[in-house]
Amino acid sequence: MAYAGLAQEYLGVPAVTRAYTTACVLTTAAVLELLTPFQLYFNPDLIFRKLQVWRLVTNFLFFGPLGFSFFFNMIFLYRYCRMLEEGSFRGRTADFVFMFLFGGFLMTLFGLFASLFFLGQAFTIMLVYVWSRRNPYIRMNFFGLLNFQAPFLPWVLMGFSLLLGNSIIIDLLGIAVGHIYYFLEDVFPNQPGGKKLLLTPSFLKMVFDTPEEDPNYNPLPEDRLENQPGDQDLNQQPPQ
């Protein structure tokens, strides 16, 4: 029963959030037993000269060895990825996937010119930034020490990284990419003369979004009968 309940809870997680967090956890588990971080990190030379193209993806999946930093990142990744998918992206899975691709593309471009080996934390900060800008009036509490409005959350996390002695370049990258997406998607289209520049490709909509029913569609009579099996026996005589 416990296993069934756990499986039901897992399958109840939105598809994109479930897939990404599962991939992150499995990648960390693989590093413990099968792989090393040297096989996963972002290296343009190995990607383009040795055709190790998997590094374009795996550098977003590894958050370091098991420890405080890993669990901290997983909690924030799961929480804010799920809230975005169930909130402003509800019913828009293709748009959510496109945000993933757009953000990953920009971070990869930046990674070509900087010595950044793993971009998963920056990706998490991007998700947090977009969520915080779309929920500006929510009050936040950080470890019971700070109270602030949601838009300050990415900056609080960056300050926390600084206190832990980590580089804030990754956090700044996530904030920058998150702001670019937020501006192009939510701000610029609503400006005078502005327009929507980020258009989700149709093939993503075909794959991830459920086709909308045509309100003007009139099914054939036989289709109606198939959908109402109880009506087919109305003229039959009851058994004697």
The CATH number that applies at residue 201 is 1.20.1540.10
Structure tokens at 48: 């383009």
Whole-number pLDDT of residue 212: 57
Domain carrying residue 135:
9-211
77 belongs to a structural domain: yes
Whole-number pLDDT of residue 112: 87
DSSP state of 185: I
Beta bridge partners of 58: none
Distance CA 94, CA 211 (A): 12
236 belongs to a structural domain: no
232 belongs to a structural domain: no
3-class secondary structure, 229: helix
Pick from 178, 137, 138: which is nearest to 155 by CA? 178
234 belongs to a structural domain: no
Contact status, residue 40 vs residue 55, Cβ threshold 8 Å: yes
Residue spans of alpha helices (H) in the chain: 2-11, 15-33, 44-49, 55-58, 68-86, 93-112, 120-134, 153-163, 169-182, 202-208, 221-227
Structure tokens at 65: 């060895």
196 belongs to a structural domain: yes
Measured CA angle at 149 (ends 146, 155), to 5 deg: 70
Whole-number pLDDT of residue 151: 94
Residues of the chain with pLDDT under 50: 225-226, 229-240
Whole-number pLDDT of residue 213: 56
Whole-number pLDDT of residue 89: 94
Distance CA 179, CA 40 (A): 27
55 belongs to a structural domain: yes
Sequence-ordered list of residues with C-beta below 8 angstroms from that of 146, at least 6 positions apart, any chain: 140, 156
Whole-number pLDDT of residue 150: 93
Structure tokens at 111: 């990674």
**Backbone φ and ψ of 87, nearest 5°:** -105, -100
**Backbone φ and ψ of 60, nearest 5°:** -90, -5
217 belongs to a structural domain: no
Whole-number pLDDT of residue 236: 46
Q: Are strands 139-142 and 146-149 parallel, antiparallel or unpaired?
A: antiparallel
Whole-number pLDDT of residue 1: 59
Structural domain total, the chain: 1
Whole-number pLDDT of residue 220: 55
Contact status, residue 204 vs residue 97, Cβ threshold 8 Å: yes
Whole-number pLDDT of residue 173: 95
Burial of 142 from C-beta contacts in 10 A (0-12 / 13-18 / 19+): middle
Whole-number pLDDT of residue 161: 87
Instruction: State the amino acid at position 63 in one-letter form.
Output: F
29 belongs to a structural domain: yes
